[in-house]
Structure 1
Amino acid sequence: MQATMSDEMLELIAQRFRLLSDPMRLRILHQLQAGEKSVTELVEATGASQPNVSKHLSTLRTHGLVRRRQEGNMAYFSIGAPFIFDVCNTVCDSMKDELEQKTSLLGQIG
């Protein structure tokens, strides 16, 4: 991060992290990582209701994280901001490292 950031920029960054703080949105993004999917496919893959998936897709789309493509009466969604997976991978890697350290410490105790 830059040394000095405006309050507005910090708020935009916080807003982006709030978008990623919902497990269902992360499930949807994870499903879309493999490629474009319809709402029906996302409902089946996540086990969530159609209205719930649609609500989250709308939020993700509003903020540019997913794209929507219409084909006839079907809507297909894809990733609109691939950098999101860099963020997720960074968090996952740090969690794995932390877990390994804790496991190692517990092994030393027992």
Structure 2
Amino acid sequence: MCRSVQDDSDLAYVALAKHFAMLAEPTRLRILYLLRDQELNVGALAQQCHCSQANISRHLHALTQHGMLRREARGNTVYYQAMDSSVYVLCTLACDKLSQQSQQQAALFGAVRPGAD
């Protein structure tokens, strides 16, 4: 499963699970997408995510510690920028899969719907 790891150790799977755990929070995904092509500060992210600055700061800290964001202080303001482009590839694959499943379910339910011709 972990092709980049030479051995099939539990540590590799723990690291992979931690990586996915970072992405298992909707606010973190929104933050990552907002920072995909621009730098933003805590206040701007809080406003766009409709969350408190404290909540955004907590998520920013976790994402920064995990290496997904870069933090840069400019004067009294700290700006954040995405660092890990593989996140977007992974999310695109997941979104494509969800869309495909949704279309398959819609086709299935349309075919078995009572009164459908």
Per the TM superposition, whether the score is higher than 0.5 is: yes
Unmatched segments (≥5 aa) in structure 2: none
Total equivalences in the alignment: 110
Paired letter, 1:43? A
CA RMSD, Structure 1 to Structure 2 (Å): 1.3
Paired letter, 1:77? Y
Select 2:24's aligned residue among 6, 21, 26: 21
2:67 and 2:7 map into 1 onto residues whose CA distance is: 25
* Max Rg structure: 2
Task: Give 1:89 deviation, angstroms.
Answer: 0.5
2:37 and 2:53 map into 1 onto residues whose CA distance is: 20
1:61 and 1:19 map into 2 onto residues whose CA distance is: 10
Identity among equivalent positions (%) equals 33
Select 1:65's aligned residue among 65, 68, 75: 68
**Ranges of 4+ aligned residues in structure 1 off by more than 3 Å:** none
Unmatched segments (≥5 aa) in structure 1: none
Q: If the length of structure 1 is used for normalisation, what is the TM-score?
A: 0.95
Q: If the length of structure 2 is used for normalisation, what is the TM-score?
A: 0.89
Task: Give 1:80 deviation, angstroms.
Answer: 1.2
Query: C-alpha offsets along residues 32-60 of structure 1, whole Å, 9 cap, x if unaligned?
Result: 11311111110110000000000100000
More helix by share: 1
Question: Which residue is equivalent to 1:74?
Answer: 77
